[in-house]
């Protein structure tokens, strides 16, 4: 006959040594310390002023983005021209055969 697993109830005895109790207390203290540190950091971050972007910085970034777009557009146009030339060459090769 199989043995029944132990039942946990009011009569169950839990034995903890000082080392285990110390580990549990240390874990709880560490967890609480982390929680309160994070709360204070979040509260501090909410009070800090938002960084301001100056007009000059905004204009420079805007100009850089616009220049990048124009360079990309020029590259695409050049690729399209080369593609058209390749299409013409392939057509001429096929026409000759």
- Chain segment 16-61, per-residue pLDDT in tens: 899 999 999 999 999 999 999 999 999 998 888 877 888 899 999 9
Contacts of 16 (CB under 8 A, 6+ apart): 24
How is residue 11 written in tokens?
């009569």
The per-residue pLDDT for 4 is 76
How is residue 96 written in tokens?
């000759």
Residue 81: pLDDT band (50, 70, 90) is very high
Integer Cα distance of 79 and 58 in angstroms: 32
The per-residue pLDDT for 42 is 93
């Amino acid at each position: 006959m199989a043995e029944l697993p132990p039942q946990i109830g009011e009569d169950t005895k839990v034995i903890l040594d000082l080392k285990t109790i110390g580990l549990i207390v240390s874990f709880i203290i560490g967890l609480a310390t982390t929680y309160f540190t994070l709360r204070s950091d979040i509260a501090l971050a909410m009070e800090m002023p938002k960084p301001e972007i100056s007009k000059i910085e905004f204009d420079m970034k805007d100009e850089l983005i616009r220049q990048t777009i124009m360079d990309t557009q020029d590259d695409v146009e050049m690729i399209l021209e080369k593609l058209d030339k390749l299409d013409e060459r392939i057509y001429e090769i096929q026409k000759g055969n």
